[in-house]
Copies of this chain bind each other. A is one copy, B any other.
Amino acid sequence: MNIGNAADRSGVSAKMIRYYEEIGLITASRRANGYRDYDANDVSVLQFIRRTRDLGFSLDEVSNLLALWRDRKRPSRQVKKLASQHIEDLERRMREMRAVVRTLKTLADHCHGDERSDCPILEDFASAPAKKAARRHAHA
């Protein structure tokens, strides 16, 4: 099956399929004309990637999960550990975001939000201590 077909079935764009191959996440056989050729198992792998990406795993983590998936004899402990770490990572980021939301809500609550120009939000932005929290982290 051609790449476009595999893309449709897996929900991974052709562009991304080529990229995943480039970074060594997957491989693809070629037909005589140079076209990549995929079978049902390849589509399963792509769906696996799609699913784990949707769950917010980085490509690096996906790579580890794929390796565990392929190794049928590996202990489930390893898989659970990766999942748990990801859960903790998400929870940590949510805590940081919650703190930011709390701050912003407090500021917004004290802002009239009308035609008057005085606004404690901007005043705070200009003077607050900037506590270095919620540093960004690439994947959503």
Contact = CB atoms under 8 A, between A and B. Distances in A.
Stoichiometry, copies per complex: 2
Interface in A47-100: 47-48, 50-52, 54-56, 65, 68-69, 72-77, 79-81, 83-84, 86-87, 90-91, 93-94, 96-98, 100
Contacts of A122: 65, 68-69, 79
A116 interface: yes
A121 B79 contact: yes
A97 B104 contact: no
B56 A119 contact: no
A96 to B, nearest CB: 8
20 contacts: A47-B130, A48-B126, A51-B130, A54-B130, A54-B135, A55-B100, A55-B104, A56-B100, A68-B122, A76-B112, A76-B115, A76-B118, A77-B113, A77-B114, A79-B119, A79-B121, A87-B104, A94-B98, A135-B140, A140-B140
